Every structure is written in structure tokens, then in C-alpha cells.
């Protein structure tokens, strides 16, 4: 205790509570906010209502109605005390203010009187609470009696479950009873027929009980024996909500208890353990991953683990299981049943029951004995996983984990060959060596189980790392690549990372040292090669979470070094799957038929992985441009649905580092980028170059040397309201032909008056079809791409010859022989898209008729050519002619002096003269003019002027031609283009000529003929 600080009673005031609340972020999840409300009420009673409501309203998604209901439910004394508030605040930096050392000691009588007053208030509040709860119970019984046992509920229809022991109100509201162990009804949960924005879907009757109450589904007839004692079920499932419980019962046929929310799982587990001492209680918890992503806490798993611990006894096993294979946004077994079917639910539950029964069949005598001096944590303190029992695990039950080391595999073994470290289900153990007098001590527990699966390295034989696997409260089988460099010091760095992932690393000095020695001494036989980009590595395809290989490779006797994706930069795995391939074909694929842009987008997604197998093919992109309502994003969604959900669709708005990371994550696949206008116009062209060149910027490392650069090989599909050239022009930049070819600009409008679509099939219009596809892409995605990758890896090395032949054939059909080389290059990229789509169609993946993709891609190719200023020609030549023509059109009057008036004192001055201009006839002969002729022409009627049939030719000074006319271009190239087009009069072997200029004499100039204006304007 610090000097000068007096320990004694501390008065809990509103200011102290306010100060503590300021350290706790309100975005901590509903359950934690409710605990804070209980703690505040315990500390200062109703005086804390405004403080708590004000604090709760500061969260990102505030709900005043929810907050008031939460506070109302917290207005009773319970197990949560005010100390909980201060404990949570202390974890975040709060400290109590110093007590006044000179303050008088509190009067014992006053303290006793205050305690008695608090106890009196508590008894009054409890009496009031019981009175309100009894009143609510009477209301519940009356409402329950008046409700119908039959009816319809939109909620049940939406969740795909039946009615089990519930009742219906005339307005479609569903009533779920809350009963105690004796079967007495205490409360009702009302589930509204329809969701509303301002009202919660589910409500309990106000002021009623909930804790420890439940609703049983599937309770068999004759559940009581002759003496009236309730028969215990062999297995009882516990779930949070009604729909989840109904899905579990309908999938497994086993009785299920509706506990209504995560916080009530523990009280219900205690109640059922009292009712059924020997039954297996299986907590079927929610996996609240979305909540965990927002708040860092998974309440479904945390509360389920607490229920498992509370319900476990020596005679009654308790276990938990969580849904696996959930769709995006899903969290419970109802979501799993709707997504994958009842079989998926039943398989998970039956496996969890079997595992729990197997674990409970091993008594303490059979289980792996713990050392007497350090028995480790009790079983109920171990974290719950996807399916975990609360009884001791079987010795060696995790065969998938690290095996005992083979001879020569380990370092740090003593002279006798004894490995002092042991890793099993009970944790990592260390056996100290014998002391000098020969006495030995038992093994010491170091930490929870931590397996070393493999030794990893990067493609340059550097970046050595250990592949670790461990369980945490957040999930089972978590894996982490621990760099070996983290073992160079005292190990604080790797322990910090393990703690951050939820693994309880040891804190005392001995165990810290033993853990470091354990990791340093492991020599796993398995080897892993790390790659920093998604895509092909030989005949294997690397994804962020797995690597696909052909079955014949996996069956080889010779060990193959495993490949694993690993990047220092945090990356999001966007390769998600939902639904089935048949559903993709029905909901999305069939609407692509007849729609050239949709066929093109989906086929471009399929072309990404085959780009690597086409020798000489280069990375490149396509850009769909059109107005904001033509449906560009719909095409992007269809393309993204081949590989993943909404997160697969990326945005141009990114830094250079971010765009490089996105490209590396989408190597050998399609990168989908929306909203070109969001990227800075100054770097838009350079970004297109970077994506096509397949390599990021060179950057210096810590020691000044160059860091390894990210590389990739990809196709990308972009969309925006303006083309790349126009976007770059906003920043004063000019598009190069190379940039134009690297990202082909294609009109999004199909020309059928339906925006992006050529046909809307059975929909009323383009908007209806776009809405359907948007919804379908949310619920069905990723399956086509996965099936495509599996086919490609299985046939790796076989399909590329046919692919090359198809690309050559289609490109020859698309592009005429007279087309410029630039069009030939772009045409092969279009042909690759068509060939990939046709190949996927032939192997039965798309559901499209053969030839449909080729027809659709040909239409897109021709629309690009028609919209291209140079057509089938060279865009750089066309750009050169356009620039010279534009300069003369813009500056012909201001910067050029009339030849015939050059010596006239009365002529207007040409301040910034670029050259001369002269009137010639149709044959190119100069028309003689003088001041008198000018005067006469100014007054002559139209049609009788001397200059009526005249044309204008220009004489441009070389310096002006190089600096101004050809600004941003190669002047020699522009002159050659003018010469080859016949627009330049020149001397032999030169681009210039040397006429006698008025007032100057013989001087070299670029003599540009009037015929330059006769060419096409674009």
C-alpha cells in the first residue's frame, strides 16, 4: 500500500461512475452494455439512468428504444455489482482518485446504518420486482389462453421452420412461452409478423422473468414415470432462439430447449443439470463472427462456453457445438439449415454428441495423468471450440496435431535422448533435469496445447517460420506462421502475438523461458513453401486459405512440398462461396445468355486463371463506361459472383500500396474494380500501367537495400462513367497508346435500348433484371470459380494446347488481317475471354449453349473498335493527326500571319507568331493577293470574292512545331505521319522545305497542306 493512502469505505458517486464510463467504449456489444447497466444501477440506483443512456447513445449504431428497454431490465439487484463497472474501466486505464489522507475516519455506526438502509432498499426492490413479475405472469397466462394453437406466422415461413408448442395471435404475431422447471408459465416472447424499422422483431412482456426460463421442443410423450417424476432425456440440446431450436429439432429429432438469448444459456444449463443430473447437455451456440469483427468479442461462443462450464458435473457431461460452413452474414444453426440443409446440421450435432460421449466414457483413471505438482487448469477452464466436451480428453486424441519427434528431428534433447517437452491435449509439459543429488521432480505445465506442424520458408529460402496450431476461446485449430526471428530475443514479440490471437501465453519467468526453449527445439519433418500471391505455382493453385492440386499429385509416393499463401500485409480473403453451382447457373448464368456484356463479364472472370497457360499473353484490363444508370455495376457483380460475394468487388479508390496488394491477392484471377472516377486523375494512367506490367514499385528496406516487390499476372474488369482518356485529361494528362491497350475502353450500353442488356428475358425491364441479379449475386456466388479451378488443376498441363488453338482461331475470326498491330493485341485478349468461356461451357460448368460466349464477346469487341478513334488503325497515328489538326483549327487566326499581308503596315500584328498561312487554289497554286484585292473582297457580294474558291496552307516554324504543335509527342514521329498521310510538302529526305518567307527570306519550315482538314475529324 502506498504511503499516505488510507484504505476505507469509498463513496460511490455519480461523478465517479461518469468518470469510469468515460473509459469504456459503448461499442462493446449488447450483452456487455447490459452488464454495465446492471453495475451502474447497483452503484447509484436510478440516479444513473441519464449517465448510462448518455454513454450508450455514443456508440456508432445507437438505438434509444433498445437502450431504455435495457435499462429497465437492469433495474433490479443481481449478481452484477458496481465493481464490474470499475473492473472494466480499470482494464482500459481508469484509476480511482486518491483518497484524502486527512479525511476523518467514517463513523462505524454511520456505516452500519448505511448498510442497513441499502439492505432495506434491496428487499423493497426485490419485493417490487416479484410483484411486477407475478403481474406479468398473470398477463402471460391470460394472453396464452386466448391465443390460437393453429395459425400462420410470416416469421416461421421466413425461417423455414414449423410451429412446435407455440401459439398464434390474429395479427400473425407468434407467441413462445417461457416456463420454469415445473412447467409453470411466467412470460411470453412475442415475435412480430413483420419487421419494422423502429420496433424490435422480438419482445418479452415487460417486467417479467426470463433468467432460467425456457421452452422445450420435441419433448416426448410420457416424459413422466408412474410416480410423476420427469424422465431424463439421454441428450438435451440448448439453443438461443426459437428458429435455431426448431431447425435443430427438425434436423436431429432430439429434444431442444429454447433459451431465448446467449445470456440465458448459463442459467438454463444450471436448471437442466438440476433436473437431469446424468443427461448430456449439448449447447448449440451461435457463432457471432460479425459481432466479433465489430467489437472483438464473440458473445455466442463466450456465453456458450460459460454454459458448458456451469452445467458440467462429475456425473453429467456437457459439451458445445457451433455451426460450420455458414453463409456470409450467418451465425446460427437456422442459417446453416437454410444454406446447406438439414443434413449439415444433423452431421455436426451427431459428431459432437459422439465426441462428448467418447470423452465422458474415459474416467479420471483412464485419462492421461497430470503431474502431481502442477495439475494444470481444471477441465472447465479450457476454451470451447467448434465441438468440445467438458470432460477430460482422451490421450492422443488429436492425431492431426504434431507427432512425437523422430530420431534426429529434435534439438535440445539431453544426452540420453530424452525429450524434456511433451505436447498433448492437456497442454505443453516440461520435465526438469535431475538435481545434483539425483532427485527428480514431476513435469511442469507450460501452457495450453501448442503444436508445431511444419517449418516454412519463402520462395527465396528466407523468411523462416514455424507453422503453429492452437485452440482459443475464439475457435479451434487456429494457425499462425511465427517468424523464427521472434525467437532471437526473450520471446516477448511472439508471446504478444499469441496473446493478441487469444492464446494464453505464460507470464511467469520460468514458463516463458520453457516455452521459448520448446519452440526453438522443435524440428518438424513437414516443410511448407510460402508464396506472397494468389495463383498458379507450377500445377498447384494457391488460394488465401488453401492450395488446390491435382489428385494424381496428391497420390504420389514422393512427398511434395506444401504451398501456403502468406503476406506481410493484412489481406482479406474474398474467395467466398454460397449456394451451389446449379443455383448459380439458374439464378445468374441463364440470364447471361443473349446479353453480350454479361457473357463477357462472366467469361472474363473465367479467363483470369488460364492467362498463365497462354504463352506470350500479357496482363490487361477492360473498362466498361457509360452513364450512371446503364447497369455497369451489374456486370461487375456478375463477374465477381464467379469468385465471391460483395467483398470481392473492389474499388479504384486506393493507395499505390493498396492497389498492389489487391493485384497480388487476385493474381491469376479477375480483379474487379468499380468507380474509375474515384482514383486521382494524376495517377490513373500510371495505375493502369502498373497493373498491366505485373509488378509493384521498387521500395527501399530498413537497411537501404531494395525490398522484394510484389508481382502478379491478372486480368481486370473496371467500370466508370468516363473513359480513362477523359479522366486523365481532367488532370492535364494525355493517354498513351500503351495505356489505351492495357485497359481497353468499351461502351457499357449494348445498343438495344436497354442499357447494359440486349434482352431482359422474363423480366419487365432492365431495372427489374438488374435488381434480380443484384440479389442473386448476394445469395449465390463463388461456386462456379471453385469448380473451374478444380477442373483446371485436375487437367493442368493438358488443356493449354486446346486453349491456344481456340484463342488463335477466335482472334483470326475477330480481327481482319489489315488491322493495325495494336488492334491485333487487344483482339487476342478478347479472344482469350471467349475461349475461356467456351472451354468452361464445354466441360459443363456454365449451362450456356456452345458459341454463345463467342458471339457475345465478338459484339463487345466490335463495339470497342467502333468507339475507338482510330478504328482498326493505329491510335498513335490518329492521335498525332488529331493534335496537329486541332492546333491549326484553334490557332490558325491568332498565331499565323497572312503571307500576302506580311509587309503591309496596316495589317494586324501577330504577337506570338508560329508561322505563315497562304491562300491557294484547289490545285495548290498560290492565289496572288494584295491590299487592293483585300479591300475589294471586303466589299464584294458573296460569290464574287477573289478568295471564294481558296484553301489555306500553313508554314510552321520548326521550333513551334516541336514545342507546341507536337507537345507531348515525338516531333519526328508526327512529321513522318503527316508525310505518309500526304499532308506535308517537303524536300527530299527531309520533313521540311525551304521557301522564301516574306520579310524573312529562305528559311526551313513545316509546310502543311490544306488537305489535312479533309481527313476524318476523329
Q: SS3 letters for 485-544? A: HHHCCCCHHHHHHHHHCCCCCCCCHHHHHHHHHHHHHCCCCCEEEEECCCEEECCEEECC
For residues 911 and 894, give the distance between their C-alpha atoms in angstroms, rounded to a whole number: 8
For residues 266 and 414, give the distance between their C-alpha atoms in angstroms, rounded to a whole number: 48
For residues 714 and 664, give the distance between their C-alpha atoms in angstroms, rounded to a whole number: 9
pLDDT at 556: 45
pLDDT at 705: 56
pLDDT at 786: 93
Output the CA–CA distances (angstroms, integers) from residue 989 to 590, 976, 993, in the order listed. 62, 11, 10
Q: Tell me which fold the domain 211-394 belongs to.
A: Dna Topoisomerase Vi A Subunit; Chain: A, domain 2 (3.40.1360)
Instruction: Give the CA-trace dihedral at 305, 309, 314, 318, to 10 degrees.
Output: -30
Sign, CA dihedral 327-330-334-338, equals negative
pLDDT at 738: 61
Strand (E) or helix (H) holding 920: strand 915-920
Residue with cell 539425483: 438
For 888, which DSSP code?
Answer: H
The C-alpha angle with vertex 679 and arms to 678 and 683, in degrees rounded to 5, equals: 160
pTM given for the model: 0.52
pLDDT at 415: 46
The residues with which 897 forms a beta bridge, in sequence order, are 916
Could you tell me the three cell numbers for 492? Answer: 516477448
- Give the full edge-to-edge strand order of the sheet including 215-217: 215-217, 256-258, 235-239, 280-284, 318-321, 387-389
Output the CA–CA distances (angstroms, integers) from residue 77 to 9, 110, 207, 622, 995, in the order listed. 21, 23, 14, 65, 106
* Domain regions of the chain by residue span: 14-99, 132-210, 211-394, 396-531, 581-697+708-867, 875-1014
Could you tell me the three cell numbers for 888? Answer: 491549326
Residues of the chain scoring pLDDT < 50: 1-8, 221-229, 362-412, 415-416, 553-559, 1017-1018
DSSP state letters, 648-685: G-EES---HHHHHHHHHHTTTSEEEEE-GGGS-HHHHH
Sign, CA dihedral 981-986-992-993, equals negative
For residues 813 and 811, give the distance between their C-alpha atoms in angstroms, rounded to a whole number: 5
pLDDT at 406: 41
The residues with which 336 forms a beta bridge, in sequence order, are none
The C-alpha angle with vertex 736 and arms to 733 and 742, in degrees rounded to 5, equals: 120
What 3 state SS string does 715-767 have? EEEEEECCCHHHHHHCCCCCCCHHHHHHEEEEECCCCCCECCECCCCCCCCHH
For residues 661 and 653, give the distance between their C-alpha atoms in angstroms, rounded to a whole number: 13
The C-alpha angle with vertex 447 and arms to 441 and 448, in degrees rounded to 5, equals: 125
The C-alpha angle with vertex 343 and arms to 341 and 348, in degrees rounded to 5, equals: 110
pLDDT at 900: 82
pLDDT at 975: 93
Distance of CA 776 to the CA centre of its chain: 18
pLDDT at 400: 40
pLDDT at 145: 92
For residues 993 and 974, give the distance between their C-alpha atoms in angstroms, rounded to a whole number: 16
Residue with cell 502478379: 712
pLDDT at 739: 65
Q: How many residues does the chain have?
A: 1018
Q: Kindly give the pairing relationship between strand 715-720 and strand 743-747.
A: unpaired
pLDDT at 948: 55
Amino acid at each position: 500500500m502506498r504511503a499516505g493512502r488510507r484504505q476505507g469505505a469509498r463513496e460511490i458517486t455519480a461523478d465517479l461512475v461518469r468518470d469510469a464510463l468515460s473509459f469504456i467504449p459503448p461499442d462493446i456489444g449488447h450483452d456487455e452494455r447490459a452488464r454495465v447497466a446492471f453495475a451502474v444501477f447497483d452503484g447509484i440506483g436510478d440516479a444513473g439512468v441519464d449517465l448510462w443512456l448518455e454513454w450508450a447513445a455514443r456508440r456508432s449504431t445507437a438505438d434509444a428504444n433498445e437502450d431504455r428497454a435495457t435499462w429497465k431490465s437492469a433495474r433490479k439487484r443481481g449478481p452484477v455489482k458496481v465493481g464490474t463497472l470499475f473492473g472494466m474501466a480499470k482494464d482500459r486505464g481508469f484509476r480511482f482518485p486518491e483518497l484524502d489522507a486527512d479525511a476523518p475516519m467514517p463513523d462505524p455506526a454511520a456505516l452500519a446504518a448505511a448498510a442497513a438502509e441499502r439492505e432495506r432498499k434491496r428487499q423493497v426492490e426485490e419485493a417490487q420486482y416479484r410483484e411486477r413479475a407475478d403481474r406479468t405472469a398473470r398477463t402471460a397466462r391470460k394472453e396464452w389462453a386466448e391465443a390460437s394453437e393453429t395459425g400462420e406466422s410470416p416469421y416461421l415461413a421466413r425461417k423455414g421452420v414449423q410451429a412446435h408448442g407455440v401459439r398464434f395471435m390474429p395479427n400473425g404475431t407468434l407467441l413462445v412461452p417461457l416456463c420454469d422447471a415445473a412447467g409453470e408459465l411466467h412470460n411470453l416472447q412475442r415475435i412480430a409478423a413483420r419487421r419494422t424499422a423502429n420496433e424490435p422483431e422480438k419482445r418479452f412482456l415487460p417486467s417479467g422473468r426470463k433468467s432460467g426460463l425456457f421452452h422445450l421442443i420435441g419433448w416426448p410423450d410420457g416424459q413422466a414415470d408412474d410416480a410423476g417424476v420427469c424422465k431424463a432425456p439421454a441428450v438435451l440440446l440448448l439453443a438461443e432462439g426459437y428458429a435455431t431450436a426448431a431447425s435443430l429439432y427438425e434436423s436431429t429429432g432430439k429434444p431442444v430447449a429454447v433459451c431465448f438469448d446467449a445470456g440465458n444459456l448459463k442459467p438454463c444449463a444450471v436448471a437442466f443439470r438440476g433436473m437431469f443430473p446424468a443427461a448430456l447437455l449439448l449447447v448449440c451456440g451461435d457463432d457471432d463472427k460479425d459481432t466479433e469483427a465489430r467489437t472483438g468479442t464473440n458473445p455466442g461462443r463466450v456465453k456458450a462456453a460459460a454454459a458448458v462450464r456451469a452445467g458440467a458435473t462429475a456425473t453429467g457431461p456437457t459439451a458445445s457445438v457451433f455451426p460450420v460452413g455458414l453463409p456470409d452474414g450467418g451465425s446460427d444453426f437456422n442459417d446453416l439449415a437454410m444454406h446447406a440443409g438439414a443434413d449439415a446440421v444433423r452431421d455436426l450435432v451427431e459428431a459432437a454428441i459422439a465426441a462428448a460421449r467418447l470423452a465422458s466414457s474415459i474416467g479420471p483413471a483412464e485419462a492421461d495423468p497430470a503431474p502431481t505438482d502442477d495439475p494444470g487448469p481444471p477441465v472447465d477452464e479450457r476454451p470451447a471450440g467448434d465441438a468440445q466436451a467438458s470432460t477430460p480428453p482422451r490421450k492422443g486424441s488429436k492425431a492431426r496435431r504434431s507427432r512425437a519427434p523422430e530420431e534426429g528431428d529434435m534439438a535440445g534433447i539431453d544426452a540420453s535422448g530424452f525429450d524434456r517437452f511433451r505436447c498433448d491435449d492437456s497442454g505443453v509439459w516440461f520435465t526438469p533435469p535431475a538435481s545434483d543429488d539425483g532427485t527428480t521432480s514431476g513435469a511442469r505445465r507450460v501452457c495450453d496445447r501448442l503444436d508445431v506442424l511444419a517449418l516454412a520458408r519463402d520462395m527465396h529460402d528466407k523468411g523462416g517460420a514455424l507453422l503453429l496450431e492452437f485452440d482459443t476461446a475464439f475457435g479451434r485449430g487456429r494457425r499462425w506462421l511465427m517468424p523464427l526471428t521472434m525467437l532471437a530475443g526473450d520471446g516477448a514479440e511472439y508471446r504478444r502475438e499469441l496473446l493478441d490471437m487469444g492464446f494464453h501465453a505464460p507470464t511467469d519467468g520460468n514458463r516463458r523461458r520453457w516455452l521459448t526453449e520448446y519452440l526453438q527445439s522443435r524440428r518438424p519433418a513437414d516443410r511448407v513453401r510460402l508464396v506472397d500471391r494468389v495463383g498458379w505455382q507450377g500445377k498447384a493453385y494457391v488460394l488465401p486459405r488453401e492450395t488446390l492440386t491435382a489428385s494424381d499429385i496428391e497420390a504420389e509416393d514422393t512427398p511434395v512440398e506444401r504451398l501456403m499463401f502468406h503476406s506481410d500485409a493484412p489481406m482479406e480473403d474474398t474467395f467466398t462461396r454460397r449456394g451451389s453451382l446449379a443455383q448459380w447457373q439458374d439464378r445468374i448464368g441463364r440470364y447471361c445468355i443473349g446479353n453480350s456484356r454479361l457473357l463477357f463479364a462472366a467469361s472474363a472472370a473465367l479467363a483470369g486463371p488460364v492467362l498463365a497457360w497462354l504463352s506470350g499473353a500479357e496482363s490487361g484490363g477492360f473498362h466498361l463506361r457509360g452513364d450512371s444508370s446503364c447497369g455497369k455495376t451489374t456486370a461487375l457483380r456478375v463477374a465477381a459472383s464467379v469468385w465471391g460475394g460483395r467483398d470481392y468487388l473492389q474499388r479504384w479508390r486506393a493507395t499505390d500500396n493498396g492497389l498492389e496488394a489487391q493485384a497480388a491477392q487476385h493474381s491469376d484471377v479477375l480483379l474487379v474494380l468499380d468507380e474509375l472516377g474515384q482514383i486521382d486523375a494524376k495517377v490513373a494512367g500510371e495505375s493502369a500501367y502498373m497493373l498491366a506490367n505485373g509488378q509493384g514499385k521498387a521500395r527501399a528496406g530498413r537497411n537501404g537495400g531494395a525490398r522484394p516487390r510484389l508481382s502478379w499476372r491478372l486480368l481486370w474488369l473496371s467500370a466508370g462513367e468516363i473513359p480513362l482518356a477523359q479522366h486523365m485529361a481532367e488532370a492535364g494528362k494525355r493517354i498513351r497508346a500503351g495505356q489505351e491497350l492495357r485497359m481497353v475502353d468499351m461502351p457499357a450500353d449494348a445498343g438495344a435500348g436497354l442499357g447494359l442488356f440486349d434482352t431482359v428475358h422474363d423480366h419487365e425491364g432492365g431495372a427489374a433484371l438488374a435488381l434480380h441479379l443484384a440479389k442473386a449475386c448476394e445469395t449465390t456466388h463463388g461456386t462456379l470459380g471453385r469448380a473451374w479451378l478444380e477442373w483446371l488443376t485436375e487437367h493442368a498441363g493438358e488443356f493449354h494446347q486446346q486453349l491456344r488453338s481456340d484463342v488463335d482461331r477466335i482472334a483470326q475470326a475477330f480481327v481482319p488481317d489489315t488491322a493495325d498491330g495494336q488492334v491485333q493485341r487487344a483482339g487476342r485478349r478478347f479472344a482469350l475471354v471467349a475461349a475461356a468461356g467456351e472451354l468452361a461451357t464445354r466441360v459443363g460448368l456454365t449451362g450456356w449453349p456452345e458459341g454463345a460466349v463467342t458471339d457475345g464477346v465478338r459484339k463487345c469487341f466490335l463495339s470497342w473498335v467502333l468507339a475507338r478513334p482510330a478504328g482498326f488503325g493505329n491510335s498513335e497515328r490518329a492521335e498525332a493527326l488529331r493534335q496537329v489538326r486541332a492546333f491549326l483549327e484553334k490557332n490558325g487566326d491568332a498565331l499565323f500571319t497572312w503571307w500576302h499581308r506580311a509587309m503591309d503596315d496596316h495589317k494586324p500584328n501577330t504577337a506570338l507568331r508560329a508561322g505563315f498561312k497562304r491562300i491557294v487554289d484547289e490545285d495548290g497554286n498560290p492565289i496572288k493577293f494584295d491590299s487592293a484585292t483585300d479591300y475589294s473582297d471586303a466589299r464584294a457580294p458573296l460569290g464574287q470574292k477573289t478568295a471564294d474558291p481558296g484553301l489555306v496552307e500553313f508554314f510552321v516554324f520548326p521550333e513551334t512545331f516541336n514545342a507546341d504543335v507536337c507537345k507531348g509527342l515525338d516531333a519526328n514521329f508526327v512529321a513522318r505521319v503527316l508525310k505518309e498521310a500526304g499532308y506535308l510538302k517537303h524536300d527530299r529526305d527531309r520533313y521540311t522545305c525551304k521557301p522564301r518567307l516574306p520579310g524573312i527570306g529562305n528559311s526551313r519550315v513545316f509546310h502543311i497542306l490544306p488537305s489535312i482538314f479533309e481527313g476524318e475529324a476523329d
